[in-house]
């Protein structure tokens, strides 16, 4: 409700502020730093300083492009030992278009104590990726958080990583049973609109009443002052949210809320303190299609002050108008059509460019992908073929080419709650701090009740993706984490072993022993930081990180974990299942046991990445397959007899190699020498190698440039097994197990295409019938998929999520039945 005081005026120049309309751009231009802010209307007496704020926001956005991830997880409930499958979508935070920038995403499964129990590095190509988690058989029952982020997203608060929850039940262990009487443990929070309660200024206060697991609680109550006078009443509307209005009468006054809970419990909570002077903001929606934003001040000195109202959705400015306080108030009217869809963030600035008050407003998006799906029949027998027809359409009802993921699983009493959908996540949940209960509710219809519920949500939800002091700073804000645009970055630090101080300007090499040589060089920074940009780095590896020990062997090398060490606040409910779930638990236990017994071998099928068959140095100038020659037992003889392109020299008891270049001139210094891709700096150790374990030898004749380093040629030895043979690494080298990008498992499901296959006695108790993360709908029509039912009757749900290349997101669900044979 808006205060009806009549002395607030709106100037004609503010009646319909013209929005910022950014020029369309491609992602390439956006990332190269081209953002425009055009068409800002200048209100009377608007200062140049205030007028510059929208442009500074655009500049900041150019330098800190927001990135969002969404994970489609195949099911909401698992049994320990099962496989969790997921599809990853990466989009820009402005228009939700696929963002093919980050090539690596980090996905973690966190237990209720916020400790990672499973972690994976996922390859992202063309803004999509996919992966799996094998849930350990001994994983305790509980509610787990699955989160995902990129290296670039680590520059923001962890609240803006993707978060969702899944339930894991260990059917081999005792599961806690919910008791009939459990304390509600409710808590209440109050949020003055605009930020503060100010003496004498009418205030709207949003509130939320949650249980101890952040689920909304229905409640009602009254507001009393320090004398016990009733000054306001309130009641929750939806999900424990609501709002009320009142006017604080004196500074320092103590106001309290007396809250009545459903279980007859009563809570008493204090409201925020009342300021003697300050600002109050109020947003009202009195006329269809028009917002009225009123800023009130209690400071007499503000009479001649200009204020700027800036509104932006997802960092894109849409409203920038200024006014001067009249009778201690400035009033703005905003045409709702000028606002971007989703969450608009309104901020009011004074002439000193200080933010005075802030408010969120939600406009439900109309631009979304409509997915239609149907099965060829409503019900099926066991082991029968199901044909699924899919199509996507734009808001203009035209066929849309979309990238989709599809999951089909059995609905039982354990799996009734759906997971998050991509549309509500990108437009709502991803842009605020803290969890939202049932975000899809705000997209289901556009009734006044839904609009009021959304406004209550905006009053109580936090937003802190950036700070205004960073946006308005005249200098560029440095970022700690860079996007991984080509491959996974392995990072660490190089220090002096004796002092622990950073070692700067030192060449460092990373390699993983293999028959296919890959070597990653770097030079340590001033703070000792080292980083290796790896490509095609898949699966578990042994990595060797070292400096040139012939120059200095006293350095200490440390490799960091790439996973974020910061976590969003979370309060997950402990898993307690009612006795009615016993039958479903028994069935899921049996299903998991049967699948593990008969189909376990199919869980190790992988789609291997396409690797370049050439080593990192390309085609060598000379190549020797040693089995083609008479075998010598001493490497020095091999080199002198068979490799004329590499001269062996001895100086002061130390062996040296000299590569002969293309002009037949011996080079002066030792070349870069590799064994299975691992550098060997001491040529004496090369001479000591067992030549019978070496399969081939390759030579690059001439100077070889490796990053910022230059080498006098290159000599590469490859063993038969790619395991360094009997070579012992230098004691100062760091040898460490390291998990590369996750290899992609292939989803297996039996196909009963013949009578013989349908009649096999092997039981098929699959809970997850189908998972396909690589489905595309054409721009000309629909696409068809097919799969087969299992032996377990019941209701099955098909969940489809997807995204178009233009940023339209959509999801849909449908069900079908598998009937018990007669």
How do beta strands 809-818 and 379-380 pair? parallel
Which domain does 248 fall in, by range? 184-363
For residue 27, pLDDT beyond 70 = no
**Residue matched to tokens 């998990």:** 739
Domain count, the chain: 3
**Residue matched to tokens 């064994």:** 675
The length of the chain is: 822
Q: CATH number of the domain at 260, please.
A: 2.60.40.1930
Q: What is the DSSP letter of 504?
A: -
For residue 610, pLDDT beyond 50 = yes
Q: Are residues 354 and 217 in the same domain?
A: yes
CB of 294 within 8 A of CB of 282? yes
The pTM assigned to this predicted structure is: 0.90
For residue 254, pLDDT beyond 80 = yes
The residue from 339, 363, 387 where one domain ends is 363
Res 722: pLDDT = 94
Q: What is the DSSP letter of 226?
A: T
Res 259: pLDDT = 96
DSSP labels for 789-810?
--S--EEEEEEEEEEETTS-EE
Q: How many Cβ atoms from other residues are within 10 Å of residue 357's Cβ? A: 24
The residue from 513, 528, 559 where one domain ends is 559
Dist. CA 315–CA 749, nearest whole Å: 44
CB of 175 within 8 A of CB of 585? yes
> Residue 300: helix, strand or coil by DSSP?
helix
Determine, yes or no, domain membership for 637.
yes
Q: Are residues 231 and 350 in the same domain?
A: yes
Q: Are residues 635 and 518 in the same domain?
A: no
**Residue matched to tokens 């869809």:** 341
Res 38: pLDDT = 34
Average pLDDT of span 765-774: 95
Dist. CA 673–CA 224, nearest whole Å: 81
Q: Are residues 230 and 349 in the same domain?
A: yes
Of 174-178, 200-204, 292-296, 735-739, where does mean pLDDT reach its minimum?
174-178
Of 8-17, 489-498, 596-605, where does mean pLDDT reach its minimum?
8-17
Of 243-247, 393-397, 603-607, where does mean pLDDT reach its minimum?
603-607
Q: Are residues 343 and 203 in the same domain?
A: yes
Dist. CA 271–CA 340, nearest whole Å: 33
Res 174: pLDDT = 66
Determine, yes or no, domain membership for 379.
no
Q: Are residues 517 and 646 in the same domain?
A: no
Residue 584, judged by CB atoms within 10 A of its CB (0-12, 13-18, 19+), counts as middle
Dist. CA 193–CA 196, nearest whole Å: 7
Nearest to 161 by CA among 151, 149, 150, 152: 149
Q: Are residues 324 and 188 in the same domain?
A: yes
CB of 39 within 8 A of CB of 18? yes
Determine, yes or no, domain membership for 34.
no
Average pLDDT of span 136-148: 94
Determine, yes or no, domain membership for 468.
no
Q: What percentage of the chain carries pLDDT values higher than 90?
A: 72
Average pLDDT of span 556-582: 85
CB of 572 within 8 A of CB of 140? no
How do beta strands 768-777 and 402-411 pair? antiparallel
Contacts of 62 (CB under 8 A, 6+ apart): 30, 33, 34, 35
Q: Are residues 307 and 195 in the same domain?
A: yes
For residue 708, pLDDT beyond 70 = yes
Beta bridge partners of 387: 786
CB of 86 within 8 A of CB of 122? no
Dist. CA 415–CA 431, nearest whole Å: 27
**Residue 1: band (very low, low, confident or very high) from pLDDT cuts 50, 70, 90:** very low
The residue from 739, 767, 786 where one domain ends is 739
Of 403-407, 462-466, 611-615, where does mean pLDDT reach its minimum?
462-466
Q: Would you state the structure tokens that stand for residue 331, as one six-digit string? A: 């009033």
Res 182: pLDDT = 56
Res 466: pLDDT = 79
CB of 107 within 8 A of CB of 442? no
Nearest to 489 by CA among 531, 538, 543: 531
Q: What is the DSSP letter of 666?
A: B
Which H or E element spans position 335? strand 329-335
The tens digit of pLDDT for each residue in 196-228 reads: 999 999 999 999 999 887 889 999 999 999 999
CB of 318 within 8 A of CB of 312? yes
How do beta strands 83-92 and 128-134 pair? antiparallel
Report which of residues 246 and 604 the model is more confident about.
246
Mean pLDDT of the chain: 88
Dist. CA 750–CA 592, nearest whole Å: 16
Dist. CA 572–CA 569, nearest whole Å: 10
Q: Are residues 535 and 630 in the same domain?
A: no
CB of 85 within 8 A of CB of 419? no
The tens digit of pLDDT for each residue in 741-766 reads: 999 999 999 999 999 999 998 999 99
Determine, yes or no, domain membership for 613.
no
Residue 493, judged by CB atoms within 10 A of its CB (0-12, 13-18, 19+), counts as middle
The tens digit of pLDDT for each residue in 445-490 reads: 888 899 999 999 999 987 777 789 889 888 887 889 999 999 999 9
Determine, yes or no, domain membership for 448.
no
Determine, yes or no, domain membership for 808.
no
**Residue matched to tokens 């058989």:** 137
Of 476-485, 567-576, 811-820, where does mean pLDDT reach its minimum?
567-576
The tens digit of pLDDT for each residue in 789-814 reads: 999 999 999 999 999 999 999 999 99
What sign has the CA pseudo-torsion 718, 722, 723, 725?
negative
The tens digit of pLDDT for each residue in 483-512 reads: 999 999 999 999 999 999 999 999 999 999
**Residue 17: band (very low, low, confident or very high) from pLDDT cuts 50, 70, 90:** very low
Q: Are residues 529 and 674 in the same domain?
A: no
Q: Are residues 210 and 295 in the same domain?
A: yes
Tell me how many degrees the CA angle 496-497-499 measures, rounded to the nearest 5: 65
Report which of residues 33 and 814 the model is more confident about.
814
Q: CATH number of the domain at 723, please.
A: 2.170.130.10
CA distances from 724 to 127, 415, 672, 738 (A): 37, 50, 16, 18
**Residue 572: band (very low, low, confident or very high) from pLDDT cuts 50, 70, 90:** confident
**Residue 9: band (very low, low, confident or very high) from pLDDT cuts 50, 70, 90:** very low
Q: Are residues 503 and 641 in the same domain?
A: no
Nearest to 811 by CA among 335, 323, 368, 396: 368
Average pLDDT of span 378-407: 96
**Alpha helix (H) ranges present in 296-380?**
none
Determine, yes or no, domain membership for 221.
yes
């Amino acid at each position: 409700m808006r205060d009806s005081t009549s002395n607030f005026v709106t100037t004609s120049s503010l009646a319909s502020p013209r929005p910022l309309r950014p020029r369309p751009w491609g992602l390439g231009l956006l990332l190269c730093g081209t953002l425009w802010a055009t068409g800002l209307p200048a209100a009377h007496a608007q200062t140049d300083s205030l007028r510059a704020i929208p442009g500074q926001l655009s500049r900041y956005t150019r330098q800190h492009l927001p990135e969002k991830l969404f994970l489609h997880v195949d099911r909401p409930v698992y049994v320990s030992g099962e496989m969790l499958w997921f599809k990853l979508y990466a989009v820009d935070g402005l228009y939700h278009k696929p963002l093919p920038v980050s090539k690596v995403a980090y996905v973690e499964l966190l237990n209720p104590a916020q400790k990672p129990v499973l972690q994976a590095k996922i390859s992202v190509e063309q803004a999509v990726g996919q992966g799996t988690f094998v849930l350990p058989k001994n994983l305790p029952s509980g509610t787990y958080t699955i989160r995902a982020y990129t290296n670039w997203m680590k520059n923001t608060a962890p609240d803006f990583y993707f978060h969702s929850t899944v339930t894991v039940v260990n059917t081999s262990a005792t599961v806690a049973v919910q008791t009939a009487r459990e304390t509600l443990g409710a808590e209440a929070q109050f949020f003055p609109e605009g930020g503060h309660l100010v003496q004498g200024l009418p205030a709207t206060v949003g509130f939320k009443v949650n249980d101890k697991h952040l689920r909304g609680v229905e409640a009602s109550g009254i507001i009393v002052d320090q004398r016990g006078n009733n000054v306001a009443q309130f009641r929750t509307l939806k999900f424990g949210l609501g709002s009320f209005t009142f006017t604080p009468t004196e500074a320092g006054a103590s106001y309290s809320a007396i809250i009545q809970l459903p279980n007859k419990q009563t809570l008493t909570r204090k409201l925020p303190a009342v300021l003697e002077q300050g600002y109050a903001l109020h947003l009202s929606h009195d006329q269809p299609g028009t917002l009225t934003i009123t800023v009130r001040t209690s400071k007499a000195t503000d009479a001649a002050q200009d204020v700027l109202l800036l509104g932006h959705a997802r960092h894109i400015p849409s409203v920038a108008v200024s006014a001067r306080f009249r009778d201690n108030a400035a009033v703005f009217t905003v045409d709702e059509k000028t606002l971007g869809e989703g969450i608009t963030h309104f901020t009011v600035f004074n002439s000193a460019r200080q933010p005075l008050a802030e408010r969120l407003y939600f406009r439900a998006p109309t631009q979304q992908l409509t997915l239609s799906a149907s099965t060829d029949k409503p019900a099926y027998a066991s082991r029968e073929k199901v044909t699924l027809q899919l199509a996507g359409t734009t808001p203009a009802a035209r066929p849309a080419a979309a990238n989709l993921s599809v999951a089909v699983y059995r609905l039982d009493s354990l799996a009734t709650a759906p997971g998050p959908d991509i549309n509500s996540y990108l437009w709502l949940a991803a842009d605020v701090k803290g969890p939202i209960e049932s975000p899809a509710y705000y997209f289901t219809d556009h009734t006044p009740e839904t609009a009021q519920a959304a406004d209550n949500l905006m009053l109580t939800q936090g937003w802190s993706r950036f700070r205004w002091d960073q946006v308005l700073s005249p200098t560029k804000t440095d970022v700690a984490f860079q996007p991984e645009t080509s491959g996974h970055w392995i990072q660490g630090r190089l220090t002096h072993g004796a002092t622990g101080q950073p070692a700067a300007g030192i060449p460092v090499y990373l390699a993983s022993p293999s028959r296919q040589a890959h070597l990653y060089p770097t030079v340590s920074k001033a703070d000792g930081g080292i980083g290796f940009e790896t490509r095609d780095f898949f699966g578990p590896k042994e990595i060797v990180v070292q400096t040139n020990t012939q120059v200095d062997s006293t350095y200490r090398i440390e490799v960091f974990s790439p996973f974020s060490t910061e976590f969003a606040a979370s309060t997950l409910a402990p898993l307690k299942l009612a006795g009615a779930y016993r039958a479903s638990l028994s069935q899921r236990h049996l299903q998991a046991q049967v699948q593990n017994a008969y189909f376990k071998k199919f869980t190790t099928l992988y789609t291997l990445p396409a690797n370049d068959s050439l080593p990192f140095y390309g085609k060598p100038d000379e190549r020797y397959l040693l089995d083609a020659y008479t075998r010598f037992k001493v490497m020095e003889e091999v080199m002198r007899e068979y490799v004329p392109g590499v001269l062996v020299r001895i100086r002061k008891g130390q062996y040296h190699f000299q590569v002969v270049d293309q002009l037949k001139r011996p080079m002066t210094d030792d070349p870069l020498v590799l064994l299975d891709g691992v550098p060997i700096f001491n040529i004496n150790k090369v001479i000591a190698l067992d030549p019978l374990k070496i399969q081939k030898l390759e030579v690059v004749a001439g100077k070889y440039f490796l990053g910022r380093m230059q080498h006098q040629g290159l000599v590469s030895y490859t063993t038969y097994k790619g395991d360094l043979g009997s070579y012992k690494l230098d004691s100062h080298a760091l040898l460490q197990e390291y998990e590369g990008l996750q290899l992609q498992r292939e989803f297996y499901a039996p196909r009963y295409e013949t009578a013989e296959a349908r009649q096999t006695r092997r039981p098929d108790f699959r809970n997850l019938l189908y998972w396909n993360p690589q489905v595309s709908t054409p721009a000309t029509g629909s696409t068809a998929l097919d799969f087969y039912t299992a032996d377990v009757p019941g209701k099955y749900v098909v969940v489809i999520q997807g995204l178009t290349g233009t940023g339209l997101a959509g999801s849909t669900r449908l069900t079908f039945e598998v009937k018990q044979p007669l």
